[in-house]
């Protein structure tokens, strides 16, 4: 087994010519900065969540099998350098951009924080170890990252997957506000396949019972950590830092670590029970 690289969350190893091994670690990052504190048990939950969605979503994916509670064997793909974000609600970085330019992506004017949009929007970003930035469909074609047919397929598939996940989440008492997908091409057939992982690091999940338009939401995902980092001023430090020169993150208090793991566990247990 050959070590390939460490990402923000996963360690990747080459098993053979066709397969890789994903090790879902307990690392966590926010605002593209790896935290110095691990979330013990987080890797297990992310691995189980990836298996759960791969088994229940109606599209081809790269999962081969689980190798341990925090390890997954996957097919090797030629990864597409995009993060295919689908947003159903006005929140996060989309809301920040919307407050500056309300005409983006043809959205309705005067939407409030956490408003549900008329239909999900495809909001892709670049894929970077430093900082992911929004990229338009026109830019994707201009840079020849994808052909027009490939882009349409990714867009339509991403929105379809978001809708499937939203229905499942709704039945479990949650609102899926947005989600990030990654795709790769099969090196033999050139077929585009769902890849990477799907869990609370890749989506925003809110409790239906506490949802209120115009307010910050009770989240069962990484937003809980982001909110704490905002309160202690770390996000402001990130914004003021130079590109490639990120500030050192603070140690995470035990209460934040425990609550984040508790929320990840709760949303997994609740959704998985609905799918049994």
Q: Supply the CATH number for residue 139's domain.
A: 3.30.470.20
Could you tell me if 87 and 214 lie in one domain?
yes
Question: Of 262, 211, 202, which Cα lies nearest the Cα of 57?
Answer: 202
Q: From the centroid of its chain, how far is CA 10? A: 13
Please give the structure tokens belonging to residue 47.
Answer: 């691995």
- pLDDT tens-digit profile of 170-187? 999 999 999 999 999 999
| pLDDT at res. 276 | 66
Contact 66, 51 (CB under 8 A): yes
59: domain CATH number is 3.30.200.20
Instruction: Tell me the C-alpha distance between 247 and 90, whole Å.
Output: 28
| Confidence at 275, pLDDT banded by 50, 70, 90 | confident
Residues 50 and 96 in one domain: no
Above 90 in pLDDT, residue 157? yes
CA atoms of 267 and 31, how far apart (whole Å): 22
Q: Are 159 and 117 in contact (CB under 8 A)?
A: no
Same domain, 155 and 231: yes
Q: Tell me which residue range forms the domain holding 233.
A: 78-275
The residues with which 181 forms a beta bridge, in sequence order, are 84
Domain finish residue from 48, 75, 102: 75
pLDDT tier at 249 (50, 70, 90 boundaries)?
A: very high
What confidence tens digit (pLDDT) does each residue in 26-50 have?
A: 999 999 899 999 999 999 999 999 9
Which pLDDT value is given to residue 241? 85
DSSP 177: E
Residue with tokens 């770390």, as numbered in its chain: 234
Confidence band (pLDDT; 50, 70, 90) for 242? confident
19 and 145 part of one domain: no
The predicted-structure confidence for 109-139, as pLDDT tens digits, reads as follows 889 999 999 999 999 999 866 567 899 999 9
70 shares its domain with 95? no
The pLDDT, as a whole number, for residue 15 is 95
Indicate whether 50 and 124 sit together in one domain. no
Q: For 39-82, how does the pLDDT look when each residue is reduced to its tens digit (9 = 90+)? A: 999 999 999 999 999 999 999 999 999 999 999 999 999 999 99
Mark whether 13 and 140 lie in a shared domain: no
**Is 0.75 surpassed by the pTM of this model?**
yes
Do 213 and 143 lie in a common domain? yes
Distance (Å, whole) CA 206 – CA 94: 17
Statement to judge: residues 94 and 204 lie in one domain: yes
Regarding whether 140 and 65 lie in a shared domain, the answer is: no
Q: Percentage of the chain with pLDDT > 70?
A: 97
221 pLDDT more than 70? yes
Task: Give Cα separations from 240 to 13, 54, 126, 129, 244 (angstroms).
Answer: 35, 38, 21, 19, 12
- The one-character DSSP state at 195 is E
Residue 266 near residue 219, CB atoms below 8 Å: no
My answer on whether 255 and 209 are in the same domain is: yes
Q: What is the mean pLDDT of the chain?
A: 94
């Amino acid at each position: 087994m050959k070590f390939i690289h460490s990402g923000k969350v996963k360690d990747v190893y080459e098993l053979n010519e066709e397969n890789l091994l994903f090790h879902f670690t307990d690392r966590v990052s926010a605002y593209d900065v790896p935290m110095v504190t691990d979330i013990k048990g987080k890797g297990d939950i992310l691995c189980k969540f990836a298996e759960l969605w791969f088994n229940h979503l109606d599209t081809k994916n790269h999962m081969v099998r689980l190798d341990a509670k925090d390890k997954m064997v996957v097919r090797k793909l030629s990864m597409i350098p995009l993060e295919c974000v689908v947003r159903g609600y006005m929140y996060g970085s989309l809301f920040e951009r919307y407050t500056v330019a309300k005409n983006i992506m043809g959205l309705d004017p005067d939407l409030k924080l956490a408003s549900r949009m008329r239909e999900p929007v495809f909001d892709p970003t670049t894929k970077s170890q430093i900082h992911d930035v929004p990229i338009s469909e026109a830019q994707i074609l201009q840079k020849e990252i994808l052909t027009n047919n490939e882009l349409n397929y990714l867009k339509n598939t991403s929105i379809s997957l978001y809708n499937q996940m939203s229905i499942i989440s709704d039945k479990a008492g949650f609102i899926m506000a947005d989600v990030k997908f990654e795709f790769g091409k099969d090196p033999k057939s050139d077929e585009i396949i769902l890849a990477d992982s799907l869990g609370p690091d890749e989506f925003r999940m809110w409790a239906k019972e506490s949802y209120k338009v115009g307010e910050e939401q009770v989240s069962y995902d990484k937003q809980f950590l982001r909110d704490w980092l905002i309160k202690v001023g770390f996000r402001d430090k990130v914004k003021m830092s130079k590109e490639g020169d990120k500030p050192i993150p603070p140690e995470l208090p035990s209460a934040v670590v425990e609550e984040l793991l508790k929320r990840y566990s709760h949303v997994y247990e609740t959704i998985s029970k609905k799918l049994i």
